[in-house]
A and B are shown apart, each in its own frame.
Chain A
Amino acid sequence: MMRLELVKRPQRSMLFSALSPFIAFALTIIAGAVMFALLGVNPLTAFNIYFIEPISQVWQLHELAIKAAPLILIAVGLSVCYKANIWNIGAEGQFILGGIVGSMVPVLFPQFEGPLVLPLMLLLGMVGGAAYAAIPALLKTRFGTNEILTSLMLVYVAQLFLDWLVRGPWRDPQGHGFPQTIQFNDSAVLPELMPDAGRANWGFVFALVAAVLVWILMGRMLKGFEVRVLGSSPRAGRFAGFGLNRMVFFAFLLSGALAGLAGISEVSGAIGQLQPVISPGYGFTAIIVAFLGRLNPLGIVAAGLVLALTYLGGEAVQSALGISDKVARVFQGMLLFFVLGCDTLIHYRIRVIGLALTKPEGVAKLEAAPKLKEAR
């Protein structure tokens, strides 16, 4: 008789904290290979089309940056929430509201042109996302509602609101009845970084800047310390004089603003108008990005690029092999599943137990060991 047992580690393992995303990625590849084989495709061929070909040329790297930018922007904001133990699941909605509010300028005032248009749009996008995120924050602090439910449900409200806008009041009168707004004028379009090489726009730069700024905030600033204390031990945070309610607003407004910025950047940069659907689920995928990046803004940049690749790969296998691009969702889901699973190894190690009681090694270093809960 043999069984496996999880044994709690005395300290969190730095090694597995770093390795966990890689193990998870390897497991995802294995599970993906099984999936492709069951679909009757040679896994090696499929992986080549899925993961290698989409990034083999410079213009394709630009496409990768376009997909990665919103993921990174949103995930960086979410990482602050999750570090504070506040669960904003509604970034998708905040993304959409950012897109809508930022688009007010080119849609309602198409004659307004000049260098002020774009900054104003970006600012409004952030305000829109933040304001939408303030709703679950207010409900949580005033009525004690669960922010997971409220923020998630507001996503569907935002999606339907956008759908109504582009079919109703904001529909392009010259658009032959298509549900979309007018094309934005040139000064309302986010410029491309290197127009000769590919389509990537300033959104990717925003994402990198946001990642660095949040990294400094969380690692070097008192506010970041406040986030971490309140997230890990709220009672110690109260003892420190930090207010939990203020933190709920701070985290929601910050992540909402970044999601809103991602939304208006996407609309103004990659799309150029509002449509019924402006996001292939960036707000939800960013949750995976945040965790795959260990809630560390710099890790999130890397994770954002990986998840962006799953989108491109999904499109590639659809066109090359005729497999549904929903396969991208499968890969994203497996990745999150395995990351969360592997994170167990940070706090636990696996022990194989045989029949006989073995005498474990490693005698106490009493000074170094944590105080046991029972020891009073």
Chain B
Amino acid sequence: MSANQDGTNLLEVRGLTKIFGTLTACDHIDLDIARGEIHALLGENGAGKSTLVKMLFGSLEPNAGEIFWNGQAVRISSPGVAKKLGIGMVFQHFSLFEALTAAENIALSLDDGSPISSIAAKARALSFSYGLPLDPESLVGDLSVGERQRIEIIRCLLQTPQLIILDEPTSVLTPQEADKLFETLERLRSEGKSILYISHRLEEVKRICDRATVLRHGKVVGHCNPREETASSLARMMVGNEVQAVVRAPVEGIATALPLLEIRNLSRKPATPFSIPLKGINLNVRAGEVIGIAGVAGNGQGEFFESVSGEVLQQDAVSVRIRGRDAGGLTITGRRLLGAAFVPEERLGHGAAPRMKLSENLLLSRHATDGKAFVGSGGMVKSAAIQAASQRIIEAMDVRKSAPDPEAAALSGGNLQKFIVGRELDRRPSVMVVNQPTWGVDAGAAAHIRQALIELSRSGSAVLVISQDLDELFEISDAIAVMHNGELSKPMPIAEATFEKVGLLMGGAEPGHAEHTLETA
């Protein structure tokens, strides 16, 4: 336990436990946070990090265990209590009203009746002193994700907290925006404030954190100094065993290969006031290659996926072509019949029906393409055939499950994703479009899925992967394009691509004159 001025830590947690049904999300967690340190909370998705901080912030009530604040036992029964103690939190998913200004949003959370103008002045002063430029009068709906995060941070700082909890703050930022955030955090530390920093990105934890607590399956598996660890030793603590590296064989003669998926001048008007319009997107994905689309969340990736999959139809039939045929006017079923397969971002409720069995979820995307095999005369479902096929997929993708044919919702995120990807791979599609293939998936399953996508492309299919995870895209892509504000950059061959180049494009820079257009934050 690190010492400090009066011998106690700012926050001590002993035996904190939270149980949801049969899942022990947090199992006797011990955690100490000293004054003036940046403390990392590391863990895979589903390790219990978010549950733990929700208990610290009073949004969840623990089943057992104690929390000490400045040495005093406290019961944090609501976020209001947490704020009074001096705990502030910046959530991963922002809670801002898009139709209000930044200052109005801040005023709502302060709840002390001070006039908007004085709040705006305070916010402006604070934002400049911490290097987080922000115009308090601007509408949240017009701001970028990075700017919205600044509102959340400033809102938190206005309450002068002793402990600031940041939940995966960089997951929505470009590398450059993340650098700015780190400067702010270091500044806060130098003022003696403590920061609990939640992440599964090891490099940034090594860079800014003083100590780390690692969670796995709801238990603390170790405390360490991240600066003395390597990324792979931290990963081992998080995941529990060595993760197999993905192998990507180089492709030859790709320039002459046939484009199987062609996007030609694809545009789409925003469907809702806050969705992103697509502007003149052009892209060819050839047989044998994996193209990655990078981009900060909410820059039109979802709208793009819907347009390519046929969940939303295009006015112009030529704007999406699959295997040389115009598909813009075809429904998702029509596009599947041309040989395309799709994996959406959201697993439960989009890629799979949560309360349906895996075999039924197999039918979900393949009732038309495998109509003869799975559906008999008169529309009767051949349940033996879909059972057999789903067992085949379960074996091929190593899907771990507790029952022979469980409901989709009963599987862990990673296992369900393996099934959903496997369901499409099993068809040997000639065009595969995947949105966030390994979102929330543990490292072992993620490697499996990535390898499978590469192998599909090498067997002659065109694979398009949309992802927010740059490491993933660099691992599997032959070329990377960047989506920003509804526009898609030209794909950069992987040999030329660097994190920095891609990061600048993610921030909205024009390729070629990146330095000038980078926002002067």
In the complex, which residues 2-56 of chain B have their Cβ closer than 8 Å to any Cβ of chain A? 17, 19-25, 27, 45-48, 50-51, 54
Contact of B22 among A220, A228, A369 (CB under 8 A): A369
Residues B64 and A235 in contact, CB atoms below 8 Å apart: no
Residues B21 and A8 in contact, CB atoms below 8 Å apart: yes
In the complex, which residues 404-419 of chain B have their Cβ closer than 8 Å to any Cβ of chain A? 407, 409-413, 415-416
List 10 additional A-B contacts (Cβ < 8 Å) besides A221-B381, A232-B356. A11-B410, A12-B355, A222-B381, A233-B353, A235-B350, A239-B350, A366-B23, A368-B410, A370-B23, A376-B440
Asked if A196 is at the interface (CB within 8 A of a chain B CB), the reply is: no
Asked if B63 is at the interface (CB within 8 A of a chain A CB), the reply is: yes
Asked if B250 is at the interface (CB within 8 A of a chain A CB), the reply is: no
Contact of B346 among A11, A235, A368, A369 (CB under 8 A): A235
Of A128-136, A151-159, A357-365, the one with at least 4 CB within 8 A of chain B:
A357-365
Chain A residue at smallest Cβ distance from B361: A236
Residues B379 and A232 in contact, CB atoms below 8 Å apart: no
Which 10 pairs across A and B sit closest by C-beta, in order of nearness?
A10-B21, A241-B333, A369-B23, A368-B402, A364-B24, A375-B46, A374-B50, A371-B413, A236-B353, A233-B353
Given contacts A364-B217, A370-B410, contact A225 B363 (CB under 8 A): yes
Instruction: Name the distance in Å between A351's Cβ and chain B's nearest Cβ.
Output: 11
Tell me which residues across on chain B come within 8 A of A360, comparing CB atoms.
19, 63
Residues A232 and B354 in contact, CB atoms below 8 Å apart: yes
Residues B344 and A239 in contact, CB atoms below 8 Å apart: yes
Residues B402 and A370 in contact, CB atoms below 8 Å apart: no
Asked if A7 is at the interface (CB within 8 A of a chain B CB), the reply is: yes
Chain B residue at smallest Cβ distance from A349: B21
Tell me which residues across on chain A come within 8 A of B309, comparing CB atoms.
239
Instruction: Name the distance in Å between B433's Cβ and chain A's nearest Cβ.
Output: 12
Contact of A376 among B23, B168, B331 (CB under 8 A): B168
Contact of B352 among A8, A221, A236, A362 (CB under 8 A): A236
Residues A367 and B412 in contact, CB atoms below 8 Å apart: yes
Given contacts A10-B21, A225-B363, A239-B332, contact A370 B409 (CB under 8 A): yes
Please name 21 pairs of A and B residues whose Cβ atoms are closer than 8 Å in the assembled complex, sorted by A: A10-B21, A220-B381, A222-B381, A229-B356, A238-B311, A239-B309, A239-B342, A239-B344, A239-B351, A239-B365, A241-B331, A359-B63, A359-B64, A364-B22, A364-B24, A366-B217, A366-B412, A367-B400, A367-B412, A369-B23, A370-B411
In the complex, which residues 23-57 of chain A have their Cβ closer than 8 Å to any Cβ of chain B? none
Instruction: Name the distance in Å between B369's Cβ and chain A's nearest Cβ.
Output: 10
Contact of A371 among B46, B47, B360 (CB under 8 A): B46
Asked if A223 is at the interface (CB within 8 A of a chain B CB), the reply is: yes
Asked if B139 is at the interface (CB within 8 A of a chain A CB), the reply is: no
Residues A235 and B364 in contact, CB atoms below 8 Å apart: no
In the complex, which residues 363-418 of chain B have their Cβ closer than 8 Å to any Cβ of chain A? 363-365, 367-368, 375, 378-381, 383, 400-402, 407, 409-413, 415-416
Instruction: Tell me, in angstroms, the Cα distance from A223 to B379 when the chains sit together.
Output: 7
Tell me which residues across on chain B come within 8 A of A7, comparing CB atoms.
21
Instruction: Tell me, in angstroms, the Cα distance from A220 to B22 when the chains sit together.
Output: 32
Chain A residue at smallest Cβ distance from B24: A364
Asked if A9 is at the interface (CB within 8 A of a chain B CB), the reply is: yes
Residues A229 and B364 in contact, CB atoms below 8 Å apart: yes
Tell me which residues across on chain B come within 8 A of A238, comparing CB atoms.
311, 332
What's the tally of chain B residues with a CB closer than 8 Å to chain A?
65
Residues B21 and A239 in contact, CB atoms below 8 Å apart: no
Instruction: Tell me, in angstroms, the Cα distance from A328 to B354 when the chains sit together.
Output: 39
Instruction: Tell me, in angstroms, the Cα distance from A188 to B118 when the chains sit together.
Output: 83
Instruction: Name the distance in Å between A317's Cβ and chain B's nearest Cβ.
Output: 42
Instruction: Name the distance in Å between B520's Cβ and chain A's nearest Cβ.
Output: 32
Asked if A352 is at the interface (CB within 8 A of a chain B CB), the reply is: no
B336-362 interface mask toward A, CB cutoff 8 Å, 1 = contact, 0 = none? Answer: 100000101010111111111000100
Tell me which residues across on chain B come within 8 A of A371, comparing CB atoms.
46, 348, 409, 411-413, 416, 440
Tell me which residues across on chain B come within 8 A of A369, comparing CB atoms.
20-23, 410, 412
Asked if B218 is at the interface (CB within 8 A of a chain A CB), the reply is: yes
Tell me which residues across on chain A come within 8 A of B367, comparing CB atoms.
222, 225, 240-241
Tell me which residues across on chain B come within 8 A of A4, comparing CB atoms.
none
Asked if B144 is at the interface (CB within 8 A of a chain A CB), the reply is: no
Instruction: Name the distance in Å between B400's Cβ and chain A's nearest Cβ.
Output: 6
Asked if B92 is at the interface (CB within 8 A of a chain A CB), the reply is: yes
Instruction: Name the distance in Å between B286's Cβ and chain A's nearest Cβ.
Output: 26
Given contacts A366-B412, A367-B400, contact A239 B64 (CB under 8 A): no
Instruction: Tell me, in angstroms, the Cα distance from A232 to B48 when the chains sit together.
Output: 28
Tell me which residues across on chain A come within 8 A of B48, comparing CB atoms.
375
A211-252 interface mask toward B, CB cutoff 8 Å, 1 = contact, 0 = none? Answer: 000000000111101001100110111111100000000000
Asked if A372 is at the interface (CB within 8 A of a chain B CB), the reply is: yes
In the complex, which residues 295-342 of chain B have their Cβ closer than 8 Å to any Cβ of chain A? 309, 311, 331-333, 336, 342
Chain B residue at smallest Cβ distance from A364: B24
Given contacts A11-B407, A241-B368, contact A375 B50 (CB under 8 A): yes
Given contacts A241-B331, A376-B92, A376-B440, contact A368 B353 (CB under 8 A): no
Instruction: Name the distance in Å between A374's Cβ and chain B's nearest Cβ.
Output: 4
Instruction: Tell me, in angstroms, the Cα distance from A223 to B47 when the chains sit together.
Output: 40
In the complex, which residues 114-168 of chain A have their Cβ closer than 8 Å to any Cβ of chain B? none
Residues B23 and A374 in contact, CB atoms below 8 Å apart: no
Tell me which residues across on chain A come within 8 A of B23, comparing CB atoms.
10, 364-366, 369-370, 372
Instruction: Name the distance in Å between B513's Cβ and chain A's nearest Cβ.
Output: 36
Tell me which residues across on chain A come within 8 A of B46, comparing CB atoms.
371-372, 375
Chain B residue at smallest Cβ distance from A229: B353
* Chain A CB within 10 A, most for which of B17, B23, B168, B356: B23
Residues B412 and A233 in contact, CB atoms below 8 Å apart: no
Instruction: Name the distance in Å between B14's Cβ and chain A's nearest Cβ.
Output: 13
Tell me which residues across on chain A come within 8 A of B218, comparing CB atoms.
364, 366
Given contacts A10-B23, A222-B379, A372-B46, contact A365 B412 (CB under 8 A): no
Instruction: Name the distance in Å between B363's Cβ and chain A's nearest Cβ.
Output: 6
Residues A233 and B349 in contact, CB atoms below 8 Å apart: yes
Chain B residue at smallest Cβ distance from A238: B311
Contact of A220 among B21, B24, B380, B412 (CB under 8 A): B380
Residues A225 and B350 in contact, CB atoms below 8 Å apart: no
Chain B residue at smallest Cβ distance from A359: B64
Instruction: Name the distance in Å between A221's Cβ and chain B's nearest Cβ.
Output: 5
Instruction: Tell me, in angstroms, the Cα distance from A257 to B415 when the chains sit together.
Output: 43
Tell me which residues across on chain A come within 8 A of B21, comparing CB atoms.
7-10, 369-370
Tell me which residues across on chain B come within 8 A of A363, comparing CB atoms.
24, 27
Chain A residue at smallest Cβ distance from B62: A357
Residues B380 and A221 in contact, CB atoms below 8 Å apart: yes
Tell me which residues across on chain B come within 8 A of A372, comparing CB atoms.
20, 23, 25, 46, 51
In the complex, which residues 107-122 of chain B have their Cβ closer than 8 Å to any Cβ of chain A? none
Tell me which residues across on chain A come within 8 A of B168, comparing CB atoms.
376
Instruction: Tell me, in angstroms, the Cα distance from A366 to B27 when the chains sit together.
Output: 12
Chain B residue at smallest Cβ distance from A10: B21
Instruction: Tell me, in angstroms, the Cα distance from A220 to B45 when the chains sit together.
Output: 37
Residues A228 and B24 in contact, CB atoms below 8 Å apart: no
Instruction: Name the distance in Å between A302's Cβ and chain B's nearest Cβ.
Output: 24
* Chain B CB within 10 A, most for which of A10, A228, A233, A235: A233
Residues A362 and B368 in contact, CB atoms below 8 Å apart: no
Instruction: Tell me, in angstroms, the Cα distance from A15 to B261 when the chains sit together.
Output: 49
Instruction: Tell me, in angstroms, the Cα distance from A240 to B366 when the chains sit together.
Output: 8
Given contacts A365-B22, A369-B22, A374-B51, contact A239 B402 (CB under 8 A): no
Instruction: Name the distance in Å between A347's Cβ and chain B's nearest Cβ.
Output: 11
Instruction: Name the distance in Å between A204's Cβ and chain B's nearest Cβ.
Output: 27
Chain B residue at smallest Cβ distance from A236: B353
Instruction: Name the distance in Å between A50's Cβ and chain B's nearest Cβ.
Output: 38
In the complex, which residues 324-376 of chain A have their Cβ closer than 8 Å to any Cβ of chain B? 357, 359-360, 362-372, 374-376
Given contacts A8-B20, A370-B410, contact A376 B50 (CB under 8 A): yes
